[in-house]
Amino acid sequence: MAVRRVTRPADRTEAIMRAALELAGEVGYARLSIEAVAARAGVGKHTVYRRWPSKGVLFLDSILTVNEPRLDYRDTGDIVADLREQMVAVVDLVGRPPWGPLYRAVLGEAQHSPEVAAALNERFVRAQAEKTTARLRAARDQGQLSPGFDLDLASELLVGPLYFRLLISEEPLTHNYIDRVLEALFAGMGPKA
């Protein structure tokens, strides 16, 4: 185990987050401790606690900062193609290491920690839902979706099957599955003739 010594606050913050991710990858989230992270980062545990109130918040901040996912929609004028591109990017991100196991671990922690749940919702889940709703709104305004369709519900219908497979059934998240979800949803979301 390499111990790093860092001096600047920004360097310390980054070293702590990297140490948290490295250790989580080695020992798993459940066995991750603030003390071990501090030792790996070459700082005192109080330095860690000054920045993060808990292991869960540190871990969430680490995965969303160090491994920040870039999930932005394009608008090609084809809502199905744009949704597919985005959903494939999500599947490729959460369906395999290093991000997939880390994200599942933070989702598990969010079930027990309201603080982690709120931070996850604010920093990732809500932000992604807003991007999806905005892209759906643009498609609706372009006549690609039924004018009266509930866009927030559509966003939830798109992401729900992914979380179901990721967390409940543990069936593989594949590009073919994305195609099946989109085909099923757009049979009901398309504009009426």
Residue-wise pLDDT tens digits, 96-122: 777 788 888 889 889 989 998 998 998
Residue-wise pLDDT tens digits, 156-167: 999 999 999 988
Residue-wise pLDDT tens digits, 34-58: 999 999 999 999 999 999 998 988 9
Q: How far apart are CA 159 and CA 162, in angstroms?
A: 5
First-to-last C-alpha distance (Å) of the chain: 64
Residue-wise pLDDT tens digits, 64-99: 887 666 778 889 999 999 999 999 988 888 887 777
Predicted TM-score (pTM) of this structure: 0.76
Do residues 58 and 16 lie in contact, with contact meaning Cβ atoms separated by under 8 Å?
A: yes
Residue-wise pLDDT tens digits, 115-160: 989 989 988 889 889 999 999 999 999 999 888 889 999 899 999 9
Please give the domain boundaries of the chain with CATH numbers for all domains: 9-65 (1.10.10.60), 79-189 (1.10.357.10)
Q: Which amino acid is at 148?
A: G
Q: How far apart are CA 159 and CA 8, in angstroms?
A: 40
